[in-house]
Amino acid sequence: MKKTNIVLIGMPSSGKSTVGARLAKELGLEFIDTDSVIRQRENRELKEIVNIDGLQKFLEIQEKTILELNLTRHVIATGGGVIYGAASMEHLKMNGIVIYLETDFEVIEQRIAAGRRFARNQGQSFFDLYNERVPLYKKYADAIVQCTGKSVEAISCEIIGKIPEWKSKS
């Protein structure tokens, strides 16, 4: 079976939503951001879920949300912590090609808003979180695109180039 979805994984502020929207437009696919789906379903911000209910509850909500997705012909931007859920990743990989948007730590650190919360353990630094997640992103990725220093257009073009059956559609 030909996979019809493109799943973008990577750290917060790596460009998953921005690149995803552009990629979907270029390929004539629909776009969905799983963080937005969670916000709508829970009727609150992600940081509120983590702060009030805890990291484990947030990860459970994220996994439940992803497991309920049955999409075709979509570009799916995932939350940065999606790689903590093996069932979520297996579900996304069933009908999706997983692309890791690899971005240097320094670039992500510059992009993130001061005070922004991430799905991480209390007391864990952002640098430690980055180092913990990178091997998991690489584990689940079907392809890796280095994004540092590249435009959204260049990243989108590179992703299309890594998916042979879609090269002709761009």
The residue extents of the domains of the chain are 5-167
DSSP β-bridge partners for residue 101: 145
3 state SS of 100: strand
**Which of the four pLDDT bands, split at 50, 70 and 90, describes residue 168?**
very low
- Can you tell me the mean pLDDT for 6-12? 96
DSSP β-bridge partners for residue 100: 9, 144
The residue whose two tokens read 């919360």 is 117
Tell me the two tokens of residue 157.
């073009």
Query: Per-residue pLDDT tens for 56-113?
Result: 999 999 999 999 999 999 999 999 999 999 999 999 999 999 999 999 999 888 877 6
Rounded CA separation 157/16 (Å) = 14
What amino acid occupies position 164? P
Residue 165 has pLDDT above 70, yes or no: no
Rounded CA separation 93/102 (Å) = 18
What value does the CA radius of gyration of the chain take, rounded to a whole number of Å?
Answer: 15
One CATH from 3.20.20.140, 2.60.40.650, 3.40.50.300, 2.40.50.100 for 5-167: 3.40.50.300
Residue 41 has pLDDT above 60, yes or no: yes
Q: Residue 76: its pLDDT value, please?
A: 98
Residue 120 has pLDDT above 70, yes or no: no
**Which of the four pLDDT bands, split at 50, 70 and 90, describes residue 170?**
very low
pTM of the full structure: 0.92
Cα dihedral across residues 66, 67, 68, 69: positive or negative: positive
